[in-house]
Amino acid sequence: MTSIRLPRADGTSRSHTLRPPRAWSLPPAGAHFNRIAYAAAHVVADPLSSADPWLQSAIDWDSTLAYRSYLWSLGLGVAEAMDTAQRGMGLDWPASLELIDRSLELAHATPGARIACGAGTDHLEPRPSTTIDEVIAAYELQCEAIEARGGRIVLMASRALAACARSPDDYARVYQRILGQLAEPAIIHWLGDMFDPALSGYWGHADLDRATDVCVNVLATNATRIDGIKVSLLDKNREIAMRRRLPRGMRMYTGDDFNFAELIAGDDHGYSDALLGIFDPIAPAAAAALAALAAGDRGQFDAVLAPTVPLSRHMFRAPTRFYKTGVVFLAWLNGHQDHFVMVGGQQSARSLLHLTELFELADAAGLLRDPELACARMRTLLAVHGFAG
DSSP string, 19-35: PPPP---PPPTT---SS
Phi and psi, residue 187, nearest 5°: -100, 125
Element (H, E) at 17: strand 13-17
Buried b (16+ CB within 10 A) or exposed e, 51-65: eebeeebbbbeebbb
Q: Where are the domains of the chain?
A: 35-306
pTM, entire model: 0.96
Q: What pLDDT, on the 0 to 100 scale, is given for residue 28?
A: 81
Q: What pLDDT, on the 0 to 100 scale, is given for residue 26?
A: 85
d(CA 189, CA 97): 18
Q: Are 255 and 191 in contact (CB under 8 A)?
A: yes
Which 3 state secondary structure label does DSSP give 176? helix
Q: What pLDDT, on the 0 to 100 scale, is given for residue 386?
A: 93
Q: What pLDDT, on the 0 to 100 scale, is given for residue 54?
A: 87
Mean pLDDT by 10 residues, the chain (389 residues): 92 93 85 94 96 91 98 97 96 97 98 97 92 98 98 98 97 98 98 96 97 98 98 97 97 98 97 98 97 96 98 98 98 98 96 98 97 97 90
Q: Which CATH architecture has domain 35-306?
A: Alpha-Beta Barrel (3.20)
Which 3 state secondary structure label does DSSP give 56? coil
d(CA 364, CA 208): 35
